[in-house]
Amino acid sequence: MLRPLSCLCMLSALFFSVAMCAQDAAPTAPPQQAPTTEAAPAQHPPAVSALSRLGVAHKAYLKRGTGNSIPYNVISAAFEAWPRFTLVRDPDKADIIVEISAPEESGGVSISGSTTIPSYSSEGRPEPATTTHSMPASKVEMVVLDQHNHLRLWFGSEQPKGAMKQRAREDHLVDAAQALFTRFHDRLEPPEAPEKK
């Protein structure tokens, strides 16, 4: 027959064993990490070059700036013939905005000068005669803007040759507009170098 004291010792030992097993089986919380005082550096998207932005643009909105309409018409026709871009009528649907400006319709500023000619008024005094000379007023300019943030992606200008006759001035505006468009075109699609023989 077991003594009450030995039963009590056995029960205590059994209880202690069960308690130890339960403690080993209980999940433990992961150690707490101390909060960091330094903030993580802000992640900025990498800067995209103007040429890269132009390289992915496919829709262009053409905007006529100030001056003669001839350069705008010439550059518009060149864009329409270039399959790289689709022209859109709404600037919000464009990737780029192309603004074309040109000299005023007159083709130049007027500079007046007076000279004395052998002509006399009724009082016998010499009368001044006024001669007018036309000189180029400004350049044909083309600026290409990113439609989303209006950053300038490309800019070019061409000085048209001066001329006294209107027809010659118009021809020079056409030449300047074509040269300006060619520079922009060749920036995006450089011409192939001729093969060496």
Q: Does 176 reside within a domain? A: yes
Q: What CATH number does residue 107 fall under?
A: 3.30.160
* Residues 6-23, mean pLDDT to the nearest whole number: 52
Indicate the residue type of 21.
C
In whole numbers, what is the pLDDT of the chain averaged over residues?
76
Q: Does 24 reside within a domain? A: no
Please check the confidence at residue 36 and state whether its pLDDT lies above 90: no
Please check the confidence at residue 116 and state whether its pLDDT lies above 50: no
Cα distances (angstroms) measured from residue 75 to each of 10, 125, 184: 103, 54, 11
How sure is the predictor about 117, in pLDDT bands with cuts at 50, 70 and 90? very low
Q: Specify the pLDDT at position 190.
A: 92
Q: Does 142 reside within a domain? A: yes
Q: Specify the pLDDT at position 133.
A: 45
Please check the confidence at residue 44 and state whether its pLDDT lies above 60: no
pTM greater than 0.75 (yes/no): no
Q: Does 180 reside within a domain? A: yes
Question: Beta strands 86-87 and 59-64: pairing type?
Answer: parallel
Q: Does 158 reside within a domain? A: yes
**In whole angstroms, what is the distance from residue 113 CA to residue 108 CA?**
16
Q: How many structural domains compose the chain?
A: 1
Please check the confidence at residue 135 and state whether its pLDDT lies above 60: no
Q: Does 174 reside within a domain? A: yes
Q: How remote is the C-alpha of 29 from its chain's centroid?
A: 54
DSSP letter (8 states) at residue 192: P
Q: Does 60 reside within a domain? A: yes
Q: Does 86 reside within a domain? A: yes
- Classify 102 as helix, strand or coil: coil
CB 61 within 8 A of CB 96: yes
User: Helix 70-81 to helix 166-188 angle, to the nearest 10 degrees?
Assistant: 40
CB 70 within 8 A of CB 173: yes
Residues making up the chain, counted from first to last:
197
- Of 99 and 32, which is predicted with more confidence? 99
Q: Specify the pLDDT at position 80.
A: 97
Which residue range is the domain that position 98 belongs to? 50-118+125-188
